[in-house]
Structure 1
């Protein structure tokens, strides 16, 4: 079993990796991500799983045994820009390895078991996180998603057929394993944990409009510079989130005309905000927006704020989480919240009983080339997932 996991991990390691940073560029429907998808199909075929794909690019390998509501596991293979190796792929490789381990134990599940890969979980290309699972559950209709564009102006409808999906029909439970994207398990001294829920979060587009002008000949007092409005807004968002004990990040900025010797005419910046409660999220984003509007008035610039996506609080099935956390050898696994969004949250919101397993991340760093998990902890995660699948599939 260890050799199987490590061999699969070695297969994935070079795909889409930057020689400069060591990070990964596995954006949806690009060559690296498609190579990984083909790899996954090959792994499913080698295990005798029936491969099913929908019109959006989501794929499931089915172990057609037993009857009744299916048990689904898996994660995603795409990455953020210059991301880490573990966010997503760890859940896919661990699911395949856990399936192998269940079979090695001689266990024949009482209901069908599937391993899934959802596309565009990160939202790194078309801007909407968990897009594949949103489309598969119907949370986002194809009519509104097909017009989404990437940074080069390519429409989602130009790269994927689209339509409808029956991939999740008959799924009764979903279990997603994921690398922890924080230090909770490190602080607790635990290799594996169980998720209690996901903080509410959203992505908001701030457009600051000013007046383009010459960087050399325009006096400072004569400028209408949207970059200044944005800069004060970013500083203010950081302060307000710190004071509230919440999260606010401007991680993406687009400048027009983007010339070194020109005062910008427009700055577009995307705010990622996450809070422990929905009321807290609304209050935080409202405060940041109000402060930005006040600053725009002083600078003579114009501000538009658009909520591109907002995800409510996700509370995973309490009974399921308690059962998974307690029903194993060696003591209880801790039950912890997460501030990161996941496909599991979308399936949970769609009414599918859902739980998550987290594997310890020694530094807590994620969405970065420094993201990491020790092999020993990963193998504990595989065993934990196999135990969970075995018990839930009875």
Structure 2
């Protein structure tokens, strides 16, 4: 037993959402409690822990020395609203367990090795996924990031100050990136690939291109009881038409995905015709050109649906990540270390995908018997969690000797 299940059990109550699952937003109380949990475990193992200017927590077994030599693993601790127990924390707990496995074998790394915990990976609070890794890699302008606003009206700059960070210091961290030879992220599989293959662990092959777009439809707020149906400019009706059309557009394109999972009417009263409705579109496809074509069609569909109700629509891109093929040489070394592990692509975004623009990255996926993720039904069997941690230890040990 590697202790992964026990460690996850220690945080099972942190950020529990009364509606089901977890609500662990970045830079919030649950996030701070989870960081303290990780720091306690890392320090108990004699790792050197510090939090950098972008809010990333680092735990070093051996501190960085010569540039470009460090092996890094890790994941995130935040969640989507109503998220499962494994998306993110499994990778963090498995990294700690991998250190234990290597030590039990009498293996000390031949080069610097660290565990990294990235903040706001899900983007649930500020709408931009992989925020910490994007800031580190220079994949988002710091001024744009600091101006992001959450549902309570707080900017990222506000949240950082409350969380003990200096907003003016965030941004690209070339020195940290230059220290890293490669990054390997272990994650629960967010689909049924390993279930269908009958395997507990896979090596990541690629991440589908994906992005988020905010749609805003402006109409006319009015009284639900006194406004005749023929006199309405109702953005909620326009939004409903648009959501159905977006689903149909994605269904017509092989391998495309389009999801509307969040919708916000203003002012949101039961007996009030909304004056404005905003909703968010998540779109994905392996071919970035197809994603662009899909979004162009979405823009047209939204405009048509809005006009039919006497409303006006705008579509704003909040984030866009191109398709990522993980580093081929690094994947080959992982195949040598894990010869029985198949390769799988994923439709889910990860910090490893963001960092792939700057450093060699790879992923390991651990079987999810339900095939469900971003939901309380997400699951990893204890035995598979142990196998995943051992596979990560095998990978880190091999990379320490060969990178």
User: What is the deviation of 1:66?
Assistant: 8.6
**117-126 or 67-76: bigger deviation:** 67-76
The one of 362, 384, 389 equivalent to 2:391 is: 384
DSSP-derived class of the 1:97 partner: helix
Q: What does residue range 89-104 of structure 1 map to in structure 2 within 5 Å?
A: 89-104=89-104
Q: What does residue range 362-373 of structure 1 map to in structure 2 within 5 Å?
A: 362-373=369-380
Equivalent residues of 1:16, 1:24 under 8 A apart = yes
User: Runs of 5+ in structure 2 lacking a partner?
Assistant: 161-165
Rounded to whole Å, the distance in 1 between the matches of 2:398 and 2:336 is: 12
DSSP-derived class of the 1:306 partner: strand
DSSP-derived class of the 2:252 partner: helix
User: What is the deviation of 1:332?
Assistant: 2.8
Equivalent residues of 1:66, 1:110 under 8 A apart = no
**381-390 or 22-31: bigger deviation:** 22-31
DSSP-derived class of the 1:23 partner: coil
**Cα deviation digits, residues 171-215 of structure 1 (max 9, x gap):** 110000000000111111111011111111010010001111111
User: What is the deviation of 1:168?
Assistant: 3.5
User: What is the deviation of 1:141?
Assistant: 2.9
Rounded to whole Å, the distance in 2 between the matches of 1:300 and 1:66 is: 60
Equivalent residues of 2:84, 2:376 under 8 A apart = yes
2:234 is matched with 225
**284-293 or 316-325: bigger deviation:** 316-325
Equivalent residues of 2:5, 2:385 under 8 A apart = no
**44-53 or 66-75: bigger deviation:** 66-75
Q: What does residue range 148-227 of structure 1 map to in structure 2 within 5 Å?
A: 148-160=148-160, 161-162=166-167, 163-164=169-170, 165=173, 166-227=175-236
Rounded to whole Å, the distance in 2 between the matches of 1:286 and 1:38 is: 44
Rounded to whole Å, the distance in 2 between the matches of 1:229 and 1:34 is: 40
Change (3 A) 1:167 1:39: farther
Rounded to whole Å, the distance in 2 between the matches of 1:122 and 1:282 is: 22
Rounded to whole Å, the distance in 2 between the matches of 1:29 and 1:63 is: 26
Rounded to whole Å, the distance in 2 between the matches of 1:225 and 1:373 is: 44
User: Runs of 5+ in structure 1 lacking a partner?
Assistant: none
TM-score by length of 2: 0.94
> Aligned residues, how many?
389
User: What is the deviation of 1:167?
Assistant: 3.9
**33-42 or 47-56: bigger deviation:** 47-56
TM-score by length of 1: 0.96
DSSP-derived class of the 2:278 partner: strand
**RMSD (CA atoms):** 1.4
Q: Is 1:340–2:348 an aligned residue pair?
A: yes
1:109 is matched with 109
User: What is the deviation of 1:32?
Assistant: 1.1
User: What is the deviation of 1:296?
Assistant: 1.8
Q: Is 1:358–2:357 an aligned residue pair?
A: no
2:163 is matched with none
Q: What does residue range 188-337 of structure 1 map to in structure 2 within 5 Å?
A: 188-245=197-254, 246-328=256-338, 331-337=339-345
Rounded to whole Å, the distance in 1 between the matches of 2:130 and 2:391 is: 25
Rounded to whole Å, the distance in 2 between the matches of 1:170 and 1:52 is: 16
Rounded to whole Å, the distance in 2 between the matches of 1:6 and 1:39 is: 15
